[in-house]
Structure 1
């Protein structure tokens, strides 16, 4: 087969900054987005995206923006891991209570089941979106990724791979992309294994969780199967005041919501694991749900399908990579063609446009 990869492109030079900003926002409903105080006429984006097997690869240039994922968005069915390779420029913000700063050459890991607030300068970047189940099949245990910055030797190898891949992906056929995507996953697995082995006290590789939340999250992971895993129990067993407990998890939608999300996400990982053969009822019992019916109802609400459907098909229905890409393509089909702008309006981003040559 010589079919080229499914792809699309969004360029403010083609459709104008305001139309590009509207489409960019509509393509990212899982985030809150704004221009960090800049005028919409100053917005610049030139980004291309490709469906690369089970992943989406995005690459391009973006003017200064602010992205955030808020607590009220965490139950929207998004269950992805994102790798942001900063090829040029800077991204910084707050993740899990600590400041994160990414320079050119860094890879920042983001988990859609957690909140964050990030601001960028004018940047060139590669953004890889992959489903959590791809990592579950790749690794015996997926480490805590959110907010981690890959700066190890294997991280640098992965960064070089992503940069090279973004340059050559337009010429790949689907067959070639399938083979290369499998190699990409192996490199990702190698880089993430170093996260699992690295100590959390290393602030140069990752932000630390606040002390209270770290203790509580460890306790939750150890007691997911308990039917008595409640805020009162956690407060009593760890000697933490209820007010401190609620405050520590306020950015994640609350302690009860976090327990529910961890149980559901763990269930999803187990359902996709090739060596997991327990029944849905047994998994519900293992993860502390009151009944199979309660588990199935909560699972469907989060992932858009039943646990049995997820196990059979190997994917969940809400926020799948394919559905995300298809939605982007539909937005592209409705993109308007702007009327020619008066010459005076081109001055809006003139201060940034000449700088793009340094990012090519």
Structure 2
């Protein structure tokens, strides 16, 4: 929790930016990675463990601000200044009660920050979309997995698993998105412009042979056949090649390609 008495700061946490003006109270989750720059300033602040104020990274935002021109902001500013002014006189036997009272105040102020009902559902949906977007942006990382989501969104592994239960888990979601991206890259560039191995490595697969097996299982054709599809969904050089069961509908594959 920080209060700038004069000067200011600006920074970035995730995809959200902020600016701190004198008199504003800002609360950061220090377990999240953020970047900031500050002008010549005077700052007072306190560092408080999550559990002391009932903060839950899965439910509360990583950054909260109470502007100095609001009633709540003024109240927090006066309380923080009074606390720091009284610290030199506080006796050890009173310190515990004083800290509990201050933390209880902050815990009460955090309650309105908690999403509830429809708001909670919207919050979870937005977070789920952000997690999927994060994975989609980082598919080329062969080590991408649950641990990345835990660190990026300050969530426990069980919480992450729950968010991806309907997609068959995080690993399955990543594999399916990688295969879809590979299909798009193979079928959307001129034949021979990209090697299949390059595409496999580029979307995060370490083993091209394993990639080819998964690709055929998902789409019913090989990566080589996908690379031979022209823009209308017809086979060019490999036009006569078909799976033995003859079940692949290349027109449907083309329509699907144009939709992703």
Pick the TM interval, shorter chain.
0.3 to 0.5
Flag the structure with higher strand content.
1
Larger Rg: 2
Relative contact order, CA 8 A, sep 6+: which one is greater? 1
TM-score, structure 2 as length reference: 0.47
